[in-house]
Homo-oligomer: A and B are copies of this chain.
Amino acid sequence: MGANAGSATEPPWLGVTLRHGLDPCATCDARSLSVCDALAGPDLDRLATIAVVMSVEIGQSFITEGDPADHFFNLTGGSAKLYKLLPDGRCQVTGFVQTGDFLGLAASTHYAFSAEALEPVQLCRFARGKFEALLRDCPAMERRLRQLASHELVMAQEQMLLLGRKSARERVASFLLSRSRGCAHAGTGERVLLPMTRTEIADYLGLTIETVSRTLSAFKTARLVAMHSPAELLVLDRKALDKLAAGGGKGHALT
């Protein structure tokens, strides 16, 4: 633990542990998954000198929308949600991030989103000024970040299509498929892990928790998926889900 329990000296880092590692980057397990992979040799050493290794407990936020964007982050473990709030509390989750993901691009002078740990999070924190200085000397990294931002733009536009034009069933199907990609299991179907709550899924898909729950139940009834626990399900009929996600099943029965 070792959290800085509520002391006024470090308000943004409640429930957070700092560990200044010696040369953490060279031996980082997450490096191959992340933008840090673009660096090597002395550049990597330099990155290590400006990296601050931290831990964040479940439920703790480590980026707050509207705060000065003083840091970049790189997740080295766990998962988190990114979200925006309206004054009355309505929430839009803009993305889920996990090991290897880089945070802080969607910011000008202030963060455009908040970030909160869904699972215990380990991350590296980089002071923005120092990191930008490093970028000035490392075109490869700058390039990599631009490509990353481009990729996130593609994802963001896909999400706009989902939020603006897809039905509830199409949204949930799209979500399950995006979560299943990569962890394919032959035979019984693909396992999908849902480390977030129904509320967070709803806030990601622009729906209510009840609609998400009902839609998942309908998928279960229609044998498109099987659910072991609320946090884990199996894709039984990927073809049907694909069709739904692409908008091909708008008027289907599905009970």
Contact = CB atoms under 8 A, between A and B. Distances in A.
Nearest to A94: B157
Interface stretch (A6-14, A84-92, A176-184): A84-92
Complex copy number for this chain? 2
A112 B250 CA distance: 23
**What range describes how many residues of A lie at the interface?**
35 or more
A240 interface: no
Contact of A160 (B94, B135, B166): B94
A197 B201 CA distance: 34
Contacts of A150: 105-108, 149
Contact of A88 (B106, B112, B247): B247
Contacts of A185: none
A158 B112 contact: yes
A195 interface: no
Task: Give chain A's interface secondary structure class.
Answer: helix
B158 A159 contact: no
Nearest to A110: B154
A143 interface: yes
- Pairs A-B, 8 closest by C-beta atoms: A164-B206, A149-B149, A163-B163, A156-B156, A86-B247, A106-B153, A146-B146, A112-B154
Interface of A: 84, 86-88, 90-92, 94, 105-108, 112-113, 135-136, 139, 142-143, 145-146, 149-154, 156-161, 163-166, 203, 205-206, 246-248, 250
22 contacts: A84-B158, A87-B246, A87-B247, A88-B247, A88-B248, A90-B165, A90-B247, A91-B165, A105-B153, A106-B154, A107-B154, A112-B153, A112-B157, A135-B143, A136-B139, A142-B142, A142-B146, A146-B146, A156-B157, A160-B163, A164-B205, A164-B206
